[in-house]
């Protein structure tokens, strides 16, 4: 059961209409799925922390038939492992050109209309994929320019439940559209 719907108010009807058409959720990784910190062990290995509620939200969206993809400029074995655990089939990591990666993904999924995409970001490189999306979303602690240009601002920061908030929003929008 999703718990986000009660946080929406009457002024969010337009947002819900836009969100209801989402068929693909695209997530940045560092700063969205994680808190953005890079942690290195003495042996040089990298570790990341992921919020369990974000993972559950991802599973709920996948079960509802919404595809999920992650596009990141960095490669990380920890990210690949977490996305695989969650059943996310589209992990485009180590991709500096995020817009090209998004174009490939749209072609692969036969999604001709970028308006069917919701995209979550936190920093300037994410703007190139947030802007063509039907719904550009910024986590609460995003760069000020990303916050300014987002269609929706999460109440929660990256790595601390923001992705779950977005998942709950998309699920609430679908329920509302069916009424």
CA dist list (Å): 62 to 24, 56, 78, 100: 10, 10, 21, 24
pTM of the model: 0.91
pLDDT bin (cut points 50, 70, 90) of residue 113 is confident
Radius of gyration of the chain measured on its C-alpha atoms: 15
Residues in CB range of 95: below 8 A, 6 or more apart: 71, 72, 73, 101
For the cut 80, the answer to whether the pLDDT of residue 110 exceeds it is: yes
Does residue 71 register a pLDDT over 90? yes
Which phi and psi angles does 129 have, rounded to 5°? Answer: -105, -20
Q: What domains, with CATH codes, occur in the chain?
A: 12-178 (3.40.50.1000)
Beta strands in the chain (DSSP E): 24-27, 39-40, 46-47, 67-71, 90-92, 117-121, 135-138, 152-153
pLDDT digits (tens, 9 = 90+) for 11-42: 578 888 889 999 999 999 999 999 999 889 89
Each residue's pLDDT tens digit, 132-152 = 999 999 999 999 999 999 999
């Amino acid at each position: 059961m999703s718990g986000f719907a009660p946080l929406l108010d009457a002024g969010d009807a337009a947002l819900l209409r836009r969100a209801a058409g989402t068929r693909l959720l695209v997530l940045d990784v560092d700063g969205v799925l994680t808190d953005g910190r890079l942690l290195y062990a003495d042996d040089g290995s990298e570790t990341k922390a992921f919020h369990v509620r974000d993972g559950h939200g991802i599973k709920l969206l996948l079960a509802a038939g919404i595809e999920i993809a992650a596009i990141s400029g960095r490669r990380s074995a920890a990210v690949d492992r977490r996305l695989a655990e969650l059943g996310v089939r589209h992990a485009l990591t180590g991709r500096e050109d995020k817009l090209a990666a998004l174009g490939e993904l749209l072609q692969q999924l036969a999604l001709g209309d970028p308006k069917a995409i919701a995209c979550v970001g936190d920093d300037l490189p994410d703007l190139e994929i947030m802007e063509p999306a039907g719904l550009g979303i910024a986590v609460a602690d995003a760069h000020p320019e990303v916050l300014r240009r987002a269609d929706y601002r999460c109440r929660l920061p990256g790595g601390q439940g923001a992705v779950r908030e977005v998942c709950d929003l998309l699920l609430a929008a679908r329920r509302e559209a069916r009424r």
